[in-house]
């Protein structure tokens, strides 16, 4: 078969010219460089990335919420412990009215009158200076 472009004689089973590469068989389709349709893969990758980002954001959110809750609980417990210690200190003290009676009252005594100026000290100190408990506090 003779090539119509360069004129070289080619063997019959050949589909292309050995000299110039022209397609001798007209029934062959021209080869096109076709790109595969990758939009499905790209969409799947984007969807997977969005799911991963959403999961990570959820984990971070709940992790921070848990840490905040734990730190708030610790702060509340510390505050409660400080209040209890302060109350214990108040309950361990005695109140001595400045009326010259030299009797002291414990916290919660029914005869304790906070409208009168008074000294506040430990019970041992009150006994050391000569104070005695009131009749209600002896019980």
Q: How far apart are CA 83 and CA 85, in angstroms?
A: 5
Q: Say if residue 82 is in the same domain as residue 19.
A: no
The reply to whether 52 and 108 lie within a common domain is: yes
* Mean pLDDT over the full length of the chain: 82
Q: How confident is the model at residue 56 (pLDDT cuts 50, 70, 90)?
A: very high
- pLDDT (mean) for 4-27: 76
Co-location of 8 and 73 in the same domain: no
At 13 the pLDDT is 67
Do 78 and 130 fall into the same domain? Answer: yes
What's the total number of domains in the chain?
A: 2
Total-model pTM: 0.35
Residues 44 and 20 in one domain: no
Q: 96: which strand partners?
A: 119
DSSP β-bridge partners for residue 44 = none
Averaged pLDDT for residues 4-32? 73
* DSSP string across 19-46: TT--B--TTSPPP--PPP--HHHHHHHH
Residues 53 and 117 in one domain: yes
Contact 58, 50 (CB under 8 A): no
Q: Per-residue pLDDT tens for 89-106? A: 666 678 889 888 889 988
Residue 31, pLDDT above cutoff 80? no
Which comes out higher in pLDDT, residue 28 or 82? 82
H-type alpha helices, 93-134: 123-128
pLDDT the model gives residue 27: 63
Instruction: Quote the CA–CA distance of 16 and 11 in Å, as a whole number.
Output: 10
Asked if residue 81 and residue 117 are part of one domain, the reply reads: yes
Look up the domain containing 26 and give its range.
1-34
Q: Assess whether 64 and 127 both reside in one domain.
A: yes
10 and 76 inside one domain: no
């Amino acid at each position: 078969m003779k090539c119509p472009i360069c004129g070289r004689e080619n063997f019959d089973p050949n589909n292309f010219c050995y000299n110039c590469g022209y397609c001798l068989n007209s029934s062959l389709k021209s080869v096109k460089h076709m790109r595969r349709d990758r939009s499905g893969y790209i969409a799947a990758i984007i969807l997977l990335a969005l799911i991963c980002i959403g999961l990570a954001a959820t984990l971070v959110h709940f992790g921070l919420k848990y840490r905040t809750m734990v730190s708030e609980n610790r702060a509340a417990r510390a505050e409660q412990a400080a209040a209890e210690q302060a109350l214990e200190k108040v309950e361990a003290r005695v109140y001595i009215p400045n009326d010259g009676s030299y009797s002291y009252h414990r916290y919660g005594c029914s005869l304790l009158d906070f409208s009168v100026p008074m000294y506040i000290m430990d019970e041992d100190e009150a006994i050391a200076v000569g104070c005695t408990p009131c009749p209600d506090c002896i019980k």
